[in-house]
């Protein structure tokens, strides 16, 4: 089983739509969870951290289910500028100084 698995995508949605991405991780000892965004030919950049109680940042909502080892990202009122690849990211194990492991990413295209 891969360390991090994501919806393969691509997702093609109209402006204003709501879209949800899902992700599962294999290591129950993982403690840190993130969603990153990667634009074409650019390095990944943090979109938001994911907390146990769930968290929201404007149009973006992240949820974590530790029992199911499942992470989600919801984007409301999609904008053209949301078009990018979204990477589900988990730390290798435990907390502290461990590397981050990346899912393959889900490509989102928001269409006018």
Nearest to 73 by CA among 62, 85, 57: 62
Instruction: Answer yes or no whether residue 96 interacts with other proteins by CB under 8 A.
Output: yes
Instruction: Answer yes or no whether residue 104 interacts with other proteins by CB under 8 A.
Output: yes
Q: Looking up tokens 């990346």, which residue turns up?
A: 102
Stretch that binds other proteins, among 7-15, 17-25, 57-65, 89-97 (CB under 8 A): 89-97
For residue 55, the Cα-to-chain-centroid distance in whole angstroms is 13
Tokens of residue 29, six digits: 């000892």
- Between 13 and 100, whose beta carbon lies closer to other proteins? 100
In the complex, least distance from residue 95 CB atom to other proteins, rounded to whole angstroms: 5
Instruction: Answer yes or no whether residue 40 interacts with other proteins by CB under 8 A.
Output: no
Instruction: Answer yes or no whether residue 102 interacts with other proteins by CB under 8 A.
Output: yes
Instruction: Answer yes or no whether residue 100 interacts with other proteins by CB under 8 A.
Output: yes
62 Rama class: left (phi>0) / alpha (psi -120 to 50) / beta: beta
In the complex, least distance from residue 104 CB atom to other proteins, rounded to whole angstroms: 4
For the segment 45-64, give every residue that binds other proteins (CB under 8 A).
Answer: 45-46, 49
Strand locations in the chain, DSSP E?
4-6, 11-14, 19-25, 33-38, 45-50, 55-57, 60-65, 70-75, 84-91, 100-102, 106-111
- Between 16 and 54, whose beta carbon lies closer to other proteins? 54
């Amino acid at each position: 089983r891969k360390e991090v698995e994501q919806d393969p995508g691509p997702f093609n949605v109209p402006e204003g739509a709501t879209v949800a991405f899902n992700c599962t991780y294999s290591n129950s000892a993982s403690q840190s969870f993130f969603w990153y965004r990667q634009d074409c030919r650019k390095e990944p950049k943090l979109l938001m951290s994911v907390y146990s109680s769930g968290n929201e940042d404007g149009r973006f909502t992240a949820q974590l289910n530790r029992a199911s080892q499942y992470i989600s990202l919801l984007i409301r009122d999609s904008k053209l500028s949301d078009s990018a690849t979204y990477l589900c990211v988990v730390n290798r194990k435990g907390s502290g100084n461990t590397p981050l492991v990346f899912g393959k990413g889900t490509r989102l295209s928001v269409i006018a």
